[in-house]
């Protein structure tokens, strides 16, 4: 074979190899892996499949909206889609680079895309415009969308009677005394005697949000010293935001805590104030994936928080103050839990107890925390690690 033929042969070979490589490499624009979508934990069928473009998940606007109970119309003259949510009475207008909710315009980045004549929108738009929570699971390539029934409540009876699956409860009043509620007609509420009164236990409920209306600072109260304020058992996906909760009586001894959780998972507590005479601000037994952020726990009579047989407990940017008696932080038989960027001050642990108890615990971490003016015979026992903490 002469030189020219050898060169020609090499060029053809390299060209064919390049074509083969291009054919097997994943597309930079659309990922072809099948994506499953669930709405309120039910798998839905769609005419157009979701896609992933440059790291963003896009879903078909019409398929998702109609499965959420909305109507969709298309205006070809302006290239805009209009969504009407029958339940919330919202009107949403979708343009390529923005969306408008009841007249309020918001930027949309990344923009919508078109696939075979079908409009697909970023997944986060479903959350922001349609009052849903969304979750992307990269392990099985699935999208979970939760659509909440939204209800405003102005008294404790309405609050307890509206605790049901897939419900967002908006608190509009300044005070809710749960002890005063009698004869509840809600199967999700179990009432038990708590020595000096009654305790209303929220059980077997999934996907609940309890939040305050803008401009309102609601306080949730109970009278009995032996009752927890907000007890949950066998619950999943619970969010509690922007509330104050505690007991009606002054600081003193009792056996009821503030937020109590048993056999529950995916709990989110944000911007809450939990106070004594509750024994602990948060109590957890067999709890997983709890996140408490920007919250304050104070003046509790046994300690700040106590967890047993739990995992992935995360307390971040919180204040723990003026609590006393036993260990302030209990992580007994717990794993993979941490307290981060929090202020821990003016707490007092009595003799024979360590300030942090991690008996039989694994990977319990305090990171970037400030310990000020606390009293204790021993700082910790068990497997506890400190990173960038100030301890005075």
**What is the b/e burial string over 328-345, where b = at least 16 CB atoms within 10 angstroms of the residue's CB?**
bbbbbbbbebbbbebbbb
Rounded CA-CA distance 172/144 in Å is: 29
Distance CA 47, CA 286 (A): 42
**pLDDT digit string, tens, across residues 6-22:** 444 454 554 444 444 44
**All residues at 6 or more sequence positions from 124 whose CB lies less than 8 Å from its CB, including other chains:** 134
| pTM: predicted TM-score of the whole model, two decimal places | 0.79
CA distance 263 to 275: 23
305 with 331: CB under 8 angstroms?
no
State the distance between the two ends of the chain, measured CA to CA, in whole angstroms.
84
| Euclidean distance between CA atoms 147 and 129, whole angstroms | 11
* Mean pLDDT value of segment 154-160: 96
Res 52 pLDDT > 90 = no
Give the start-to-end residue ranges of the domains of the chain. 47-147, 149-391
Helix H or strand E segment including 349: strand 348-349
Examine the pLDDT at 31 and tell me if it is beyond 50. Answer: no
Total Cβ atoms within 10 A of residue 28: 8
Residue with tokens 């694994």: 362
At 285, list the tokens: 């037994």
**Running DSSP on this structure, what letter comes out for residue 26?**
P
Cα separation, 209 vs 353, in Å, equals 36
Label residue 136 by pLDDT band (50, 70, 90).
confident
What is the architecture of the domain spanning 149-391? 3 Solenoid (2.160)
Distance CA 81, CA 149 (A): 24
Nearest CA to 246 among 349, 307, 322?
A: 322
Mean pLDDT to the nearest integer, 209-215: 95
> Which fold does the domain 47-147 belong to in CATH?
Copper Amine Oxidase; Chain A, domain 1 (3.30.457)
pLDDT tens-place string over residues 250-307: 655 667 899 999 999 999 999 999 998 779 999 999 999 999 999 999 999 999 999 9
């Amino acid at each position: 074979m002469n030189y020219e033929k050898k060169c020609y042969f090499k060029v053809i070979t390299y060209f064919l190899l390049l074509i083969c490589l291009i054919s097997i490499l994943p597309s930079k624009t659309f990922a072809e892996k099948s994506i499953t979508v669930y709405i309120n934990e039910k798998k839905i069928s769609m005419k157009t499949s979701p896609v992933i473009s440059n790291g963003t998940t896009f879903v078909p606007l019409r398929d998702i909206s109609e499965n959420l109970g909305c109507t969709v119309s298309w205006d070809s003259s302006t290239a805009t889609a209009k969504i009407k949510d029958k339940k919330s009475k919202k009107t949403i207008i979708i343009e390529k680079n923005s969306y408008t909710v009841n007249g309020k315009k918001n930027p949309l980045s990344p923009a919508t895309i078109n696939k075979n004549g079908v409009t697909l929108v970023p997944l986060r738009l479903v959350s922001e415009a349609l009052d849903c929570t969304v979750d992307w699971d990269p392990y099985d390539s699935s999208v979970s969308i939760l659509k909440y029934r939204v209800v405003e409540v102005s008294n404790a009876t309405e609050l307890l009677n509206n605790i049901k699956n897939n419900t967002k409860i908006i608190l509009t009043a300044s005070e809710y005394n749960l002890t005063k509620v009698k004869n509840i007609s809600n199967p999700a509420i179990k009432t038990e005697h708590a020595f000096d009164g009654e305790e209303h236990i929220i059980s077997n409920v999934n996907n609940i949000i309890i939040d305050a209306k803008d401009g309102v600072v609601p306080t949730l109260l109970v009278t009995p010293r032996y009752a927890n304020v907000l007890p949950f058992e066998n619950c999943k996906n619970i969010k509690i935001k922007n509330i104050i909760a505690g007991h009606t009586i002054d600081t003193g001894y009792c056996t009821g805590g503030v937020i109590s959780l048993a056999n529950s998972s995916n709990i989110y507590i944000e911007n809450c104030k939990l106070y004594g005479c509750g024994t602990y601000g948060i109590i957890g037994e067999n709890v997983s994936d709890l996140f408490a952020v920007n919250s304050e726990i104070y003046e509790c009579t046994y300690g700040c928080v106590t967890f047993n047989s739990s995992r992935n407990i995360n307390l971040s940017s919180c204040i723990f103050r003026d609590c006393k008696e036993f260990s302030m932080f209990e992580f007994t038989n717990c794993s993979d839990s941490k307290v981060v960027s929090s202020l821990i001050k003016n707490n007092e642990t009595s003799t024979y107890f360590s300030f942090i108890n991690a008996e039989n615990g694994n990977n319990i971490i305090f990171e970037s925390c400030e310990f000020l003016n606390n009293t204790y015979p021993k700082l910790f026992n068990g497997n506890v690690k400190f990173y960038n903490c100030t301890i005075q």
